[in-house]
Amino acid sequence: MSQQPFSTLSLHSDLLSNLESLGYHEMTEIQAQSLPTILAGQDIIAQGKTGSGKTAAFGLGLLNKLDVKRFRIQALILCPTRELADQVGKEIRRLARSIHNIKVLTLCGGMPFGPQIGSLEHGAHIIVGTPGRIEDHLRKGTLVLDDVETLVLDEADRMLDMGFQDAIDNIIEQAPRDRQTLLFSATFPDQIESIAGRILIKPVSVKVDSTHDNSSITQYFYKVSNNEDRMIALRLLLLQYQPESALVFCNTKREVQEVNDELANRGFSAIALHGDLEQKDRDQALIRFANKSATILVATDVAARGLDIDNLSAVFNFHIAHDQEVHVHRIGRTGRAGNKGLAFSFYNHKDANRIIALEDYLDRTISEDALPREDVLDKTPIQSTMITLRIEGGKKQKIRPGDIVGALTSDNALTFEQIGKIQVSPNWAYVAVARNSIKVAFKKLSEGKLKGRKFRVMVVRG
């Protein structure tokens, strides 16, 4: 781990003071390796696992050379999913808090086109978006990239996995040739090498070790015969360990839905996340999992990119990942920030070559672990500690988190400890409340008033 302070870099003083206020004192490994190159204006191709601090690496680089007085789009950041784009946009805004009048716009699919056009008409300095929606705006002439000085491809491997190759090519064609390009990817398949060769100029390569310390993540491997055995093994382990939050990785969207449905039918608090869901359902799934209103999230690798979940207890690989780096990326979701994590993987005789490759990659021998006894299936699945309420009003109605907390705690109806995460968007808000206080919370919000008026309230269930 890097012990280098940010103050050793040639960053503007206002950025350094803001980093200090955010508690960012020392650089992570990927920041220490990439930031000097980025600040020098060179292209970079960087590899690092989730949570490595790459957003701050490219974010500080583009903010350091941004001319806020020049109201033009100077940086474009491409992300594979709306969730990751939103996360990146928020982090850029945090890093830019000390820069007055800076405008960061997020442009993603699944959102109305009209308001985005209106925002673009008012100008921006930095655009964060998904390739499909960025390409749509370029086609309609509502977005012009003539002044872009920095182009960032974040999670480039997943953008290619999702079929964005043509869109990325079209976007790059409309960006100035004289620019800095920063490519970040968790894995490096041949496609990445190919695109890097075409769009980067004499790039500096940075690779941060993707393997995890065995002291923080304990890995178990179970040999199974078929998917029915996999399902039984998954239930046994969920009932034996009873993780507060677990992420189950599947290789296909169909498998995600099948596994989720089976778990839900067995009484588990599970929700599915895959590309076929409507945007509203995707948002609600992520919100419910993040605020502990669901204990299990079943997802594909693509859908799970950009998840920002604290204290994830366990990760399950329903099938062994196709790629060793993907396996490490998956299990790296647990055991973070000094916490202990558990990773469980299921395999069969067809996976022999993948197991051998994984042994080489992890530098360890993989042996078959023993599953819990069958009578564990008689246990009752744990339920989520929280339940989510949706309020049909948000920022446009001037609702703030404090208003929701005030309504719930008035007359001592709920304590602060019974209120979980609150998320307020332009036209709606979500609040997590303790399971044992849901009736009181629902009555308070549905019969009471926020900002002097009543709003429709509903319980969000799977």
Per-residue pLDDT tens for 294-342?
A: 999 999 877 666 566 666 899 999 999 888 878 887 888 787 656 788 9
**Does the structure show a pLDDT above 80 at 106?**
yes
CB 244, CB 340: distance < 8 Å: no
What pLDDT, on a 0 to 100 scale, did the predictor assign at position 336? 67
Strands across the sheet with 44-47, in order?
104-107, 126-129, 75-78, 150-153, 180-185, 44-47, 204-207
CA distance 111 to 81: 12
Q: Are 217-378 and 386-460 the same fold in CATH?
A: no
3-state secondary structure of 271: strand
Q: What is the average per-residue pLDDT within 161-183?
A: 90
**Does the structure show a pLDDT above 60 at 1?**
no
Strands across the sheet with 457-460, in order?
419-424, 429-434, 386-391, 457-460
Domain 386-460 belongs to what architecture? Answer: 2-Layer Sandwich (3.30)
pTM of the model: 0.64
**Where are the domains positioned within the chain?**
6-207, 217-378, 386-460
296-299 and 270-273 strand pairing: parallel
Q: What is the average per-residue pLDDT within 267-293?
A: 89
CA distance 157 to 176: 23
CATH number of the structural domain 217-378? 3.40.50.300
Angle between helix axes 113-121 and 131-140 (nearest 10 degrees) is 70
Q: Which CATH number fits domain 6-207: 3.40.640.10, 3.30.300.180, 2.30.110.10, 3.40.50.300?
A: 3.40.50.300
For residue 78, the cross-strand partners are 129, 153
Q: What percent of the chain has pLDDT over 70?
A: 94
Where helices occur in 23-144 by DSSP H, the ranges are: 29-39, 54-65, 82-95, 113-121, 131-140
Tens-place pLDDT, residues 330-389: 888 787 656 788 999 999 999 999 999 999 888 889 999 999 999 999 999 999 999 999
Q: What are phi and psi of 126, to 5 degrees?
A: -130, 135
What pLDDT, on a 0 to 100 scale, did the predictor assign at position 330? 85
CB 187, CB 157: distance < 8 Å: yes
**Does the structure show a pLDDT above 90 at 111?**
no
The CA distances from residue 209 to 328, 332, 430, in Å, are 10, 12, 38
**Does the structure show a pLDDT above 60 at 210?**
no
